[in-house]
Structures are given as C-alpha cells and as structure tokens.
Amino acid sequence: MNGDVKQLQQQIQIQFHNRQLLKQAFTHASYVNEHRFSQHQDNERLEFLGDAVLELTVSEYLYNEYPDRPEGELTKLRAAIVCEPSLVKFAEVLDFGRYVLLGKGEELTGGRQRPALLADVFESFIGALYLDQGLDAVKVFLEKHVFSSLSPGGQLQMMDFKTELQEFTQHHNMGVLEYRIIEEKGPAHEREFVSEVYMGDESLGQGSGRSKKEAEQRAAAAALNQLKLK
C-alpha cells in the first residue's frame, strides 16, 4: 500500500478539491490507532455518509430507469446493487484495496482483501466524493462504474455468484455444491431467508435475502470471498 492519492486520482480520473477527504476515505481505523499522534482520521464517518448517498442515488436511478417496476422490485434491485458482495466487486475492479492505509496487524492478517473492509472503503469514497463535489459528481461516477454493470433487465451482470462459484469449484476439482435454506424469519410480507452453501459437510458461506435466490447468491458470494483468500 502507498496511500498515494495522486496516483489514485489519476486512476479514477477525478481530481479532488480537498485531497485530505480522499485520503481519509482510504484510512482504516487500525492505521489511526497505530499513529495516534498524526493528523489522520479514519474513514468510518465517511462510510456512514456514503452509505446514505448510495441509497439515495441508486434509488433515484432505479426510479427513473424502470418507471413500470413496482416498489417491491425496485427495493430488491437496490438491495442487489448496494449489498456487500456487489460493493466488494466494484472496489476490486477499481483496485481500491491497494490504496488503503492499514495498521500492521490488519495488514498481516489479510485485511487488504477482506470483503467488509473493501465494501466500507467503497462507501467511504462515495461519501468523500459527495462532500468534495456534490451529488452530480457521485451520479457521474456511479454511471461509469456501477450502473454500466446493469443489464437491461436491471440485474448486475457480474452478480451471478452461483455460476462463478460453480466454475471455481469445478476448476479446482473440489466437489459438489449444495445450497440449504437454514432459516426463514420475519412476517410474510417482509420474509427473509438465510441460505448456506455446503460442500459435503463443510459450510463454505452463508447469506440472507428477501428471496431464496437472493440468499443463495449472497451465500455463494461469501463462499467465493473465503475460498479466494485461502
């Protein structure tokens, strides 16, 4: 990691007015804890803001793009776009992980590839971009790096994690996959399913969603993240 905001700006083709905001977006709390006397701030507050900005901008995009879709479908589409596995994919494509400032302990335990960290950094970046250049700049960025990944049907083209997991396990001759719904919770109109993917007796990953298919996709995404770390 280099924390080189100049190089990062060249890569994403966005020049920040306040480079400190951009640096903060890529500063993990573990780094701040190890540099207590520095001027660094971690990205947790920006993550909080970025989460809300993402919800709003994605909601507006879906509302305008799919005028005939009912509220329930739009909610599912938004959930698929802003869920952790999707944000991790976006962060990986942009190579955000290499720019994160990490503490030594977090670095040694593979924090740079940790899905939750990458998803948080993506949200933090969105929060920083919003503060620096406003909502229109966020929309332009998302059009280029997120909405362009949507198929005409509104699904993420990169979101077929079940197929990706199947291909990964077949390529490595790992065995047969099995998906199990291990829990159903919530009232009938807001049902939530929890799926777990197994290979034999070994659990590879778990995920939840508003439908069984969504839960299985998220379980597959979690499994992929774990297998690729091994």
**E strand or H helix that includes residue 192:** strand 192-199
HSE at residue 148, side-chain half, CA atoms within 13 A, is 9
201 is catalytic: no
**Residue 33: HSE in the Cβ half-sphere, 13 Å Cα cutoff:** 8
214 annotated as a binding-site residue: no
Which residues fall within 8 angstroms of residue 92, CB to CB, at 6 or more apart?
Answer: 118
Amino acid occupying residue 218: R
Which residue in the list 42, 51, 106, 216 is annotated as catalytic?
51
Asked whether residue 73 is marked as a ligand-binding residue, the answer is no
Q: How far apart are CA 30 and CA 44, in angstroms?
A: 11
51 is catalytic: yes
Q: Cβ contacts of residue 70 below 8 Å, gap of 6+? A: none
Cβ-contact 26, 125 below 8 angstroms: yes
**Which among 100, 103, 97, 98 is positioned nearest to 36, based on CA atoms?**
103
Among residues 84, 106, 123, 216, the one annotated as catalytic is: 123
Annotated ligand binding at 65? The verdict is: no
Contact residues for 115 (Cβ-Cβ < 8 A; gap 6+): 84, 85, 88, 222, 225
The contacts of residue 117 (CB under 8 Å, 6+ apart) are 28, 97, 100, 106, 111
Q: Summarize the annotated binding site for Mg(2+) as residue ranges.
A: 47, 120, 123
**Residues annotated as catalytic (active site), given as ranges:** 51, 123
Q: Summarize the annotated binding site as residue ranges.
A: 47, 120, 123
